[in-house]
Amino acid sequence: MTTPQILISMVLVLSMVMFGWGKYRYDLVAMSALLLCIVLGLVDSKVAFNGFGNAAVITVAAVLIISTALKNAGVVDVLASKISHLTETPVMHIAALTGVVTVASAFMNNVGALALMLPIALSTAKERNRPPAMLLMPLAFGSLLGGMTTLIGTPPNIIVASIRGSYLGEPFSMFSYSPVGLPVAIVGFIFIIFFGWRLIPQARMEQNSTEKLFEVGHYLTEVAVQKDSVAIGSTLANLVDEDDDGNIEIIGIAGKNRFVQIGRAGAKIKEGDILLLRADPADLKPFLDAHGLELLTSATNQFIEPQQEDDVLAEGVVKRDSVLQNRGVDRLRRLTGRTVALVGLARQGHSVTQRLRQVIFKPGDVLLLRGDLGSIDEHMNTLGLWPLAKRELDLNRNRRVITALGIFAVAIALGIAKVVTMPVAFLLAVGAYLLSGILSVREIYEDIDWPIIVLLACMIPVGNALTDTGTTSLVADVLRNVTQGWQGWQIVMLVLVVTMLLSDVINNAATALVMAPLGIEIAEKLNVNPDPFLMAVAVGASCAFLTPIGHQCNTLVMGPGGYKFGDYWRVGLPLEVVITIVSVPMILFFFPL
């Protein structure tokens, strides 16, 4: 190996480790990798930031904006409104919800489609008295399956298409992925609705009652002992014993400026003490009134004032790229101008015994916030939270649905007919949504997933450095030697499986950026058609089913579903085996070597 090859390999391995570790956001890791390549002379500084103008980056940004337009128009909600009568049995319930999100994910960002369906899933689960765990993992996996079927379903497809255009002169088109992605999605869908959900651990099915999961009772809350409280002098044990129904759980006790201590039964309660509770909402207020206790907010450590007319309680899940990730309440206060208060926190699968103001937020945490009705949605977006509350229906929704779908169809037709390139077609659609009032200018900038954009723009030149230094060619040579004597389908399967494994621990867009050029190099060494290898990369990059960190969709349902890390591979591993068995023959049939 030459010195540049050694250096770029070290940068790549270090980047993969940092992606998998997850301590630092993936856009920061990608930017650091690019800067390191510039310093080491692997990337020319004059072209280092050309990735921001790459067609793949523009397309991903446009697709994210279009997803917002379709959401505003109520496209998914209209579909969802038709399925309430299809939830009588568990299989019908899972099939109806997963079917909608799978179809929607083919034409809009899969994370956006899942976020729209999540409140509907929770609502229907409550109506049917079924645990959220039964529905949410199938929902997340369905969104990933749907993304495989079209160019715009998921960023890896856009990336693979762009790389094909750079190497072979013509990118994949809108429906080039459909011959493989559609049968894979159908088979995966059938597996999920009949078998996959049954593999979810029974403990998750039994302990996550929908009645309680998103109520105050399953949040950690803080209450203060007032000077005239009748609880002063009592022990924690006596206080709990007075709650005959056993609906109040005292987690810990602290003074106003002290860290929390685990509540000992014999500990005596003093004025100014702060109690950490978990309680059923129906029993919380009577319990507080009976003992002279006041609910606190962690943001101010002050008593909650009587609720104003426009005040609401809203629930939101912390996303993987949220600005609150690995930060505390102070960050929340600064970003919202102290207009939003944290009232409670739920972290499924973990026992939280800290004061709320000391808790460090993690992806999947469910936050209970109090704020103004007119601004709470905007704050949710600023904080990087997926809202779980139902949204009001738009009175003009049917008209806007038709308009939104019409604009989208015209854009796709222009791209397929090659009147304009697909990125230009999507940007024209964005302009049409603006003119029609479906989108606002503010939403264009707010709803772009900027960390993904930075990740792509930075990793594209890093990926180019792999090719320019001959590293991808070197790896392809090694693989050719290792697989000497193998049949073509076996090598395609190897590329698919390796891509699957990478996508389970690092961002799937980064996986596609690394594996697609490698797939082309392998094909060139074997003197065969590169398209089967590119399709294997595209399918594998969307198969992040083994962990909650492989894709945002998996992270999004972890808290609401009450899942643990190991639950994902129980369902995801057999699903990936099924997908491998189905996809390899499909790839080689439609894209022969």
Greatest mean pLDDT range, 3-17, 276-290, 397-411: 3-17
Of 78, 133, 173, the residue nearest 560 (C-alpha)? 133
pLDDT tens profile 493-539: 999 998 998 888 777 888 888 889 889 988 888 889 999 999 999 99
Q: Please report, as a single letter, which amino acid is at residue 156.
A: P
DSSP string for residues in 51-62: GGG-HHHHHHHH
Residues 354 and 494 in one domain: no
| Percentage of the residues of the chain whose pLDDT score is greater than 90 | 19
The CA distance from 590 to 162, in Å, is 20
User: Quick check: is 380 in a domain?
Assistant: yes
User: Quick check: is 413 in a domain?
Assistant: no
Residues 476 and 554 in one domain: yes
DSSP structural state of residue 303: B
Q: Which residues pair with 224 in a beta bridge?
A: 274, 294
User: Quick check: is 401 in a domain?
Assistant: no
pLDDT band at 265 (very low <50, low <70, confident <90, very high): low
pLDDT score of 304? 46
Rounded to the nearest 10°, the torsion over CA 461, 111, 391, 121 is -170
Length of the chain: 593
Residues 219 and 203 in one domain: no
What domain count does the chain have? 3
Residues 62 and 43 in one domain: yes
- Output 564 or 577, whichever has higher pLDDT: 577
pLDDT score of 463? 78
CB atoms within 10 A of CB 3: 10
Residues 46 and 152 in one domain: yes
Residue 312 scores a pLDDT above 80: no
Residues 175 and 41 in one domain: yes
CB-based contact 344:220 (threshold 8 Å): yes
CB atoms within 10 A of CB 199: 16
User: Quick check: is 391 in a domain?
Assistant: no
Residue-range definition of the domain harbouring residue 356: 311-385
User: Quick check: is 59 in a domain?
Assistant: yes
Residue 395 scores a pLDDT above 80: no
Residues 203 and 233 in one domain: no
Residue 261 scores a pLDDT above 60: no
The CA distance from 80 to 71, in Å, is 12
- Last-in-domain residue among 385, 403, 437: 385
- Output 446 or 399, whichever has higher pLDDT: 446
User: For residue 367, what is the enclosing H or E element?
Assistant: strand 366-372
- Output 296 or 183, whichever has higher pLDDT: 183
Task: Give SS3 for 300.
Answer: coil
Region 468-486: what's the mean pLDDT? Answer: 82
Residue 174 scores a pLDDT above 70: yes
The CA distance from 11 to 37, in Å, is 7
- Last-in-domain residue among 336, 366, 385: 385
Residues 23 and 138 in one domain: yes
Residues 228 and 339 in one domain: no
Greatest mean pLDDT range, 84-93, 214-223, 348-357: 84-93
DSSP string for residues in 176-200: TTHHHHHHHHHHHHHHHHHTGGGGS
User: Quick check: is 511 in a domain?
Assistant: yes
The CA distance from 400 to 415, in Å, is 23
pLDDT tens profile 38-72: 999 998 988 888 888 877 788 778 877 887 787 77
**CATH code of the domain covering residue 288:** 3.30.70.1450
pLDDT band at 575 (very low <50, low <70, confident <90, very high): very high
pLDDT band at 238 (very low <50, low <70, confident <90, very high): confident
pLDDT tens profile 351-389: 565 667 778 888 888 887 877 766 777 788 888 887 764
Residues 235 and 192 in one domain: no
Residues 356 and 500 in one domain: no
pLDDT score of 539? 95
pLDDT band at 13 (very low <50, low <70, confident <90, very high): confident
Q: Please report, as a single letter, which amino acid is at residue 593.
A: L
User: Quick check: is 304 in a domain?
Assistant: no
The CA distance from 197 to 95, in Å, is 11
- Last-in-domain residue among 295, 325, 357: 295
User: Quick check: is 52 in a domain?
Assistant: yes
Q: Which two tokens stand for residue 344?
A: 């409670």
The CA distance from 533 to 172, in Å, is 13
**Range of weakest confidence among 84-88, 249-253, 390-394, 551-555:** 390-394
Region 73-83: what's the mean pLDDT? Answer: 69
**Range of weakest confidence among 156-165, 209-218, 338-347, 505-514:** 209-218
Residues 39 and 185 in one domain: yes
pLDDT tens profile 416-458: 888 888 889 889 999 999 998 888 887 787 767 777 788 778 8
pLDDT score of 350? 58
CB-based contact 314:389 (threshold 8 Å): yes
